Structure 1
């Protein structure tokens, strides 16, 4: 028998099967082969946190802050953050540390602060989903730096909260529980969709009391059946407070327009409408 006829016989084919079908068969049956270990892939884009810290305008804003703080003798800076409940939280630091470190690199700040650092009876932190004791980064919005007129040695600056670059989920992304940051994103989306600027106004009303009583009805100059609203005698009694509010507000850039009185101890000091973020910042400052 020749070599060719032997290879062509069924018996020879079973003893010496062709190699190509075996490779095909292995692929069809998903035979496992060892794989090389994979390295974590680098991020394919610059995160919002990195963009905020590398913004070319940051250095010029820091220099503006340095000059302002030097001229006014500022010694400390409030890095402020607004929680989900509307509380003003944050950290206080010497002006030197703020200018050299915090203003350039941010400030570590826990995600749990968004919920006000409050816990249930079971000891669980209250707040948005995924709340934990880990820390993100507060990045000062340097354009909001202002001197506090009631304590000129102190300045304040609002901050944006970002997730840490070390997070597995959303590294360097804006923290979803940042109320002020969310407002900024809503404003940007509104502008992109409509081409318009979102403006808002408000009429902040609050009551001032000389003692611990919630409402002192004896403060009214009229019997219960006569309303005290807008009466100038009541406003005259509140003028020392009203003038101080107006002075502080104007020194911080508020366009004060009118004030009135509607109940014992109550004052409504109104400021002009503006873009939605500026109005929100001013309301927090006013409070």
Structure 2
């Protein structure tokens, strides 16, 4: 588009308007678009939209019964959630089905972003960060198991030969799963994510596939997309992929580790500092961000480890390999994977407390709010802990989901930050998670029958 010149000025050429969703899909030979959003539990909700209706999708005409979709703050009589697509997230995914594309959406109700929608919650947290001239970039490590489930419910590794006590990085296990791992890697690279490693993790049947870091919202979208891709591609080969934190009682569980960094308006990193006297190479802003995360660590856990099963991973004393890789105290230190926050180098910090049940939007939103609170208070995390060390004043992380619920209820700063606008999102989430815990607690298990049936 060209505008006429002003007197004495040059002709101004504006960039072309972005293509419509329909035009992009037609250019990519896409037949259907998967319009996706997630509920607070991270469940992917979608409608399959034919390209002929892409204009209606882009125009905000695709409605969902929110109460039926899942945990997203709606009652049966509430108005529809309207899925508004973010065109920047659109991507063809022919490796799942020929002619299929995916686009992430923000739920709206009555023309306003829905405050209980996780993607909306993260965008508001990032907007608060932007008010301080900052942005967050994030990398994510997505761990998962490939399993088979027998008719009696027993789980086994999909690779029957994968049974060693020290399976991590096993070249043979990776090779036997080559077709699946290569398919996922090819998919990530086709999407432009930059897959740079695929490895066998600590436990038999467990894997991790990595992609480059990016803006926080982009990475959160990619975690949701990757879980979907891994699950669908595993099913194509007759396997089940699970991100469940602790599917096996005697093996290490699934983490979701986040690598975080802050950047200024000039797209320059603000974490590194050559003048750091504490030895980690971090700036005072970085230390205050870390301090905020440590101060709010117990309340953060409800967003980082939001399932009953999460605390079977966290509470494990060991695994068959000799380690659980799950922190139990709110500590930080250098290149040491036993800490809540690991500092592998001066450019980033690694948050190691999230697990495979975490909703990436909610987890990152909560982390941003906690870190910002530390920055605004110029909080001091104290000196870093040494390898395997924790101090008497290091907060103990919640032992069960119910403890995590209470920790969030006790953290007014974090709860109010998540509740932006006074909608009670934090309280709603805490109440739902308490109900989840009690639902599990009220179920009689085999453990109880074995322990109590003839004990008295």
TMscore range, shorter length:
0.5 to 0.7
Structure 1 length-normalised TM: 0.65
Structure 2 length-normalised TM: 0.42
- Picking from 122, 132, 135, the partner of 2:80 is 135
1:208 match: secondary structure: strand
Correspondence 1:108 to 2:63: yes
Which whole-Å CA distance do the structure 2 matches of 1:106 and 1:73 have between them? Answer: 23
> Contact 1:111–1:132 (CA<8 Å) still a contact in 2?
no
Which shifted more, 209-218 or 262-271?
A: 209-218
Instruction: Please report how far the alpha carbon of residue 92 of structure 1 lies from its aligned counterpart in structure 2 after TM superposition.
Output: 1.4
Which whole-Å CA distance do the structure 2 matches of 1:231 and 1:105 have between them? Answer: 48
- Picking from 173, 178, 188, the partner of 2:112 is 173
Which whole-Å CA distance do the structure 2 matches of 1:106 and 1:129 have between them? Answer: 19
Correspondence 1:163 to 2:109: yes
Match of 1:253 in 2: 192
Instruction: Please report how far the alpha carbon of residue 114 of structure 1 lies from its aligned counterpart in structure 2 after TM superposition.
Output: 5.5
> Contact 1:146–1:252 (CA<8 Å) still a contact in 2?
yes
Instruction: Please report how far the alpha carbon of residue 218 of structure 1 lies from its aligned counterpart in structure 2 after TM superposition.
Output: 5.0
Match of 1:228 in 2: 167
Q: Number of paired residues?
A: 207
Which whole-Å CA distance do the structure 1 matches of 2:163 and 2:63 have between them? Answer: 52
Q: Deviations over 1:118-146 (max 9, x none)?
A: xxxxxxxxx53767443132211122111
Which whole-Å CA distance do the structure 2 matches of 1:107 and 1:177 have between them? Answer: 18
> Contact 1:83–1:113 (CA<8 Å) still a contact in 2?
no
Match of 1:31 in 2: none
Correspondence 1:68 to 2:7: no
Match of 2:156 in 1: 215
Which whole-Å CA distance do the structure 1 matches of 2:134 and 2:29 have between them? Answer: 40
Larger radius of gyration: 1
* Higher fraction of helix: 1
> Contact 1:219–1:265 (CA<8 Å) still a contact in 2?
no
Question: RMSD in angstroms over aligned alpha carbons?
Answer: 2.5
Which whole-Å CA distance do the structure 1 matches of 2:60 and 2:19 have between them? Answer: 12
Which whole-Å CA distance do the structure 2 matches of 1:76 and 1:255 have between them? Answer: 25
Match of 1:39 in 2: none
Match of 2:214 in 1: 274
Match of 1:98 in 2: 54
Match of 1:4 in 2: none
Q: Deviations over 1:254-277 (max 9, x none)?
A: 121212112222111011211110
Q: Matches of residues 137-156 of structure 1 in structure 2 within 5 Å? A: 137-150=82-95, 151-156=97-102
Which whole-Å CA distance do the structure 1 matches of 2:94 and 2:127 have between them? Answer: 31
2:73 match: secondary structure: coil
- Picking from 81, 103, 106, the partner of 2:37 is 81
Which whole-Å CA distance do the structure 2 matches of 1:257 and 1:144 have between them? Answer: 21
Q: Deviations over 1:79-135 (max 9, x none)?
A: 111111101102112101113x2212331223325635xxxxxxxxxx537674431
Instruction: Please report how far the alpha carbon of residue 196 of structure 1 lies from its aligned counterpart in structure 2 after TM superposition.
Output: 1.4
Q: Deviations over 1:170-194 (max 9, x none)?
A: xx3211111111111111111112x
2:59 match: secondary structure: helix
Correspondence 1:182 to 2:121: yes
2:45 match: secondary structure: strand
> Contact 1:77–1:157 (CA<8 Å) still a contact in 2?
yes
Unmatched tracts of structure 1, length 5 or more: 1-58, 117-126, 165-171
Correspondence 1:196 to 2:134: yes
1:66 match: secondary structure: helix
Which whole-Å CA distance do the structure 2 matches of 1:162 and 1:137 have between them? Answer: 5
Q: Matches of residues 35-54 of structure 1 in structure 2 within 5 Å? A: none
Which whole-Å CA distance do the structure 1 matches of 2:130 and 2:76 have between them? Answer: 31
Which whole-Å CA distance do the structure 1 matches of 2:160 and 2:54 have between them? Answer: 48
Unmatched tracts of structure 2, length 5 or more: 1-15, 228-456
Match of 2:395 in 1: none
